[in-house]
Amino acid sequence: MSKQDPINIVRLSPDSDHVPTVASWTYAEWGHLNPGYTAASWCEAFRRECGDGGVPSIFVAMEGDQPVGTAALMARDMDSRPELTPWLASVFVLPEWRGQGIASRLIRRVEAEAAGCGVDLFYLFTPDQQALYRRLGWQDHEDVDYRGEAVTIMTRRLDA
């Protein structure tokens, strides 16, 4: 299949064969921020976030039967800020699929899920993708050090 084929955004179910693959991407990208997890325990925690609607939910961008990106709606993503909830989390697109708007589509899908369950304000944190999120209507909330990494917490107001 070529990269011209349509990308479908689908909800990831806990019993999907794609859970280990997608969990491995997020562990490779953000596992260092969560000491104490192994790849296996991360995968099990990830599987528990595959809800059937609302919070939590994980979405996957699929090209045919292959996952190429992911994003999640989670109750918690930064344990040092438990009062902030819910979160857009784990936005990731495989390097060879970047630059095609897939991350934006995943983010919009999570925003729609959040709005659909009555969320009017939610959060994310990023060390380096502030420009992407600002383009999509997110606003800077606070710059913090999170486990040794400088990150920006951002917010997004949703129309119910």
Q: How confident is the model at residue 160 (pLDDT cuts 50, 70, 90)?
A: low
At residue 4, the pLDDT reads 56
Q: How confident is the model at residue 5 (pLDDT cuts 50, 70, 90)?
A: low
What is the set of domains in the chain, with CATH numbers? 7-157 (3.40.630.30)
User: In Å, how far are 59, 66, 96 from 52, measured between CA atoms?
Assistant: 11, 21, 29
At residue 33, the pLDDT reads 85
Q: Which helix (H) or strand (E) holds 152?
A: strand 149-157
Strand partners, 59: 11, 71
Alpha carbons 109 and 70: distance in angstroms, whole number: 10
Q: What pTM was computed for the model?
A: 0.92
Which residue spans within 22-126 are E strands per DSSP?
57-63, 66-74, 87-93, 121-126
- How does the average pLDDT of the chain come out, rounded? 93
Alpha carbons 13 and 3: distance in angstroms, whole number: 25
Query: pLDDT tens for residues 82-114?
Result: 999 999 999 999 999 999 999 999 999 999 999
C-alpha torsion sign, points 93, 47, 130, 159: positive
